[in-house]
A and B are shown apart, each in its own frame.
Chain A
Amino acid sequence: MTLNRDDISDRLAAVGYIADRDIATALWLMDFLKRPLLLEGEAGVGKTEVAKALAGVHSAELIRLQCYEGLDQNAALYEWNYQRQLLAIKTREGTGEKADAIEEHIFSERYLLERPLLAAIRREKPPVLLVDEVDRADEEFEAFLLELLSDFQVSIPELGTVKATSIPRVVLTSNGTRELSDALRRRCLYHYVDFPDVDREARIVITRTPGIDTSLALQIARMVANVRKEDLRKVPGVAETLDWAATLAGLDLHDLRQEPEIVHETMLCLLKTREDRSRLTREVTERLLGKVA
């Protein structure tokens, strides 16, 4: 079943993801062209959320592979369960069973440990596979991933080739700590996730923070947008905005301009380094608050 773009928009809203129009188009294209989607953008703009929402849209399982330096096939694809294999050998030692039979037994499905990539292609219903922060993995792994994404089959020497029972929807995210290969980029659809604009961020705050006033949410969104324009080392992401909104709502605040002191003190939800903290002085906070109106 292929959903059209408007269905996807509706369902994204239904699972609580406030989407811009373009992302719905990109998600529709993924199904239409059967290509993976590569999401880039600064940290904290909600790239991972897109994959979660996509899983919600198709009510599919989300399988996540977090990449890191040194990630290898054993951790990403499959591994044999050595402990059980050894145990099986020991228990059969005295029974006089043929070596071939034992071997066949211990290299069967029962002793295979699925890791995320193998799991993703062996599900009955196509899951959403999230390959998170693919730029952290080594180049060798990237090449291997590319092969998997084009063939959707895995060869396990002891067991044979495992073909995909269903083709997962693949979402890759990258923070740009390393340049990805052209081959991988060409294979994927591309979407650059930007910080949400004020309206969208306000709507996100309203959906995620129970009991918050619309006017306060709008003020918070504007304030955060202003903070992002300052020259900061770590620009606050959407998660930080939500933390801050929850804090302010918890303090029972209704208008940011009334309480510049509290605003300044709670800004530590947004600023995560000492340098940034010292850059946003009381005066700067008040100047930014002036623009919020």
Chain B
Amino acid sequence: MSVAAISTSGEGVGPPTRRRLAGFSRTLRENGFKVGLAETSDALAILTASPAARPSTLKPALRALFCATHSDWQRFDEIFDAYWQGRGVRQARTLAGTALERGSARHLKDVGPRAGRAGFPDHVERDHDDGDAAGDGRGRREGASRFENLATADLRHIVDSADIAQAHALAARLSRAMRARLVRRERVRRRGRRLDLRRTIHRNVSHGGTLMDLAWRRRKIKPLRLIFLLDASGSMSLYTAFFVRFLHGVVDAFRESEAFVFHTRLAHVSASLRDRDVSRAVDKLSLMAQGIGGGTKIGESLATFNRWHAKRVINSRTAVMIVSDGYDTGSPEMLGEEMRRLRRRCRRIVWLNPLIGWRDYSPQARGMQAALPYVDLFAPAHNLESLAALEPYLARI
């Protein structure tokens, strides 16, 4: 916000204060607060008002004004103190959200010329650390290279950049198609069964009460809500990039969907995924998923989900999709217990395991064993065809 923009209101406040306040709203914005012009000019009005001049009032007043969510509320005091009392302004500016923003901006510059390739996250990773994952990927260059084969090719084998772009486009289209089908299904179902007496009478008041137009009551069908929990651990790294892209397509197409990424801990990533710019969204997310290396704690991540997010994001028409290979470094008992809790809340749990596509795979991992009793559908997800096969299942829920 420029100083000029708010200089019109708040006559009694000098330019230095105004500048400080504009700086404060900017700091808040950098920390992920949704602060607009209206809020800043209201804040100026508060500063002008005499009863608020005391600092003991100013802080709660500005907090009530600038905060919009509980997480804002929790962080506000720290940022406020840092800014107005001049202590550690820098630290405040580099709180979690910001650091990431900057990081991704730098990355964007790096990948800039290749943006046409829709920012394949694996490239970003490779540019920065030539780790095991990337090495493996390169070693399989012999994979499918023709479009017709893409749908059945194991995602591990798709490494040629042109193929990758096509696979991603296919994933995005697939996720959109899923949505379209689901909606159409709903419309067919919408046939009124019961008479809405109240509305019928209302409609027929103009006929003097003789019932001519009948109003029917239809069952309102709520759209299916999808929750994705994507395992971004080291063992999944060959698939992560692809699923991140798929996730973007799904979150974009489904109005009611949320996405989480976990490895050793859980991160809520829907907001980053809703970024219109696909490459930037995917970029941001692959950065988030980069914390890999310390093993996978599926049980603990699920516990975090159940405790903090489930109440808000799950309703009775929710399908939870867990995309993971089931290699858990935590205790299987905990995973089982958390799966049981999750199962009670939602309508279906679908576990997508890329390993099922491998020959001779059987779910031997102890974590997978503990989770299986609570899973409604245990399906492969190693190629595009297997993802497409999910759609009729989702439509039935």
Contact = CB atoms under 8 A, between A and B. Distances in A.
Interface of A: 4-6, 21-22, 25-26, 28-29, 32-33, 35, 37, 40, 70, 80, 82, 85-86, 89-90, 93, 103, 106, 176-179, 182, 185-186, 188-192
A70 B221 CA distance: 12
B56 A32 contact: no
Given A70-B220, A93-B208, A177-B311, A33 B201 contact: no
Interface of B: 34, 36, 38-39, 42, 45-46, 49, 51-52, 56-57, 60-61, 63-65, 67-70, 72-73, 198, 201-202, 205-206, 208-209, 220, 311-313, 315
Contacts of B65: 29, 33, 189
B219 to A, nearest CB: 11
B208 A22 contact: no
Given A82-B205, A179-B313, 18 more contacts: A22-B60, A25-B57, A28-B51, A29-B61, A29-B65, A32-B46, A37-B64, A70-B220, A82-B202, A89-B205, A90-B208, A178-B315, A182-B68, A185-B34, A186-B38, A186-B39, A190-B69, A192-B67
Contacts of B52: 5
Contacts of A186: 34, 36, 38-39, 68
Contacts of A80: 202, 205
A177 B209 contact: no
A176 B312 contact: yes
Contact of A178 (B34, B45, B69, B312): B312
A176 B70 CA distance: 10
A33 B45 contact: yes
B56 A21 contact: yes
A174 to B, nearest CB: 10
B45 A25 contact: no
B206 to A, nearest CB: 8
B312 A5 contact: no
Contacts of B220: 70
B199 to A, nearest CB: 9
B60 A86 contact: no
Contact of A192 (B39, B45, B73): B73
18 contacts: A6-B51, A25-B60, A28-B51, A29-B64, A32-B49, A33-B46, A33-B65, A70-B220, A89-B208, A93-B208, A106-B205, A178-B312, A186-B38, A189-B64, A189-B65, A190-B64, A190-B73, A191-B64
Contacts of B63: 22, 190
A5 B68 contact: no
A189 B64 CA distance: 5
A285 B42 CA distance: 49
B312 A177 contact: yes
Given A5-B51, A32-B46, A182-B34, A85 B205 contact: yes
Contact of A5 (B57, B198, B209): B57
Given A5-B51, A82-B198, A25 B208 contact: no
Contacts of B69: 40, 185, 190
Contacts of B70: 40, 176, 192
A185 B201 contact: no
A33 B311 contact: no
Contacts of A182: 34, 68
* 7 closest cross-chain pairs (CB), A and B: A185-B68, A22-B60, A25-B60, A192-B73, A26-B64, A86-B209, A190-B67
B374 to A, nearest CB: 18
Contacts of A29: 46, 61, 64-65
Contacts of A4: 51
Given A5-B51, A21-B60, A176 B311 contact: yes
Nearest to B201: A82
Contacts of A40: 69-70
B97 to A, nearest CB: 16
A182 B65 CA distance: 14
A22 B68 CA distance: 16
A190 B49 contact: no
Nearest to A86: B209
A90 B209 contact: yes
Interface centre among B56, B64, B68 (most CB of A within 10 A): B64
A67 B52 CA distance: 34
Contacts of B205: 80, 82, 85-86, 89, 106
Interface centre among A6, A22, A80, A188 (most CB of B within 10 A): A22
Nearest to B74: A192
A85 B64 CA distance: 47
A158 B174 CA distance: 47
A179 B201 CA distance: 37
A178 B65 CA distance: 22
Nearest to A182: B34
B275 to A, nearest CB: 15
A35 B49 CA distance: 16
A182 B69 CA distance: 9
Contacts of A103: 206
A182 B67 CA distance: 11
Contacts of B67: 190, 192
Contacts of B208: 89-90, 93
A176 B68 CA distance: 13
Contacts of A93: 208
Contacts of A82: 198, 201-202, 205
A29 B70 CA distance: 19
A3 B206 CA distance: 50
Contacts of A190: 63-64, 67-69, 72-73
A185 B33 CA distance: 11
Contacts of A106: 205
Contacts of B206: 103
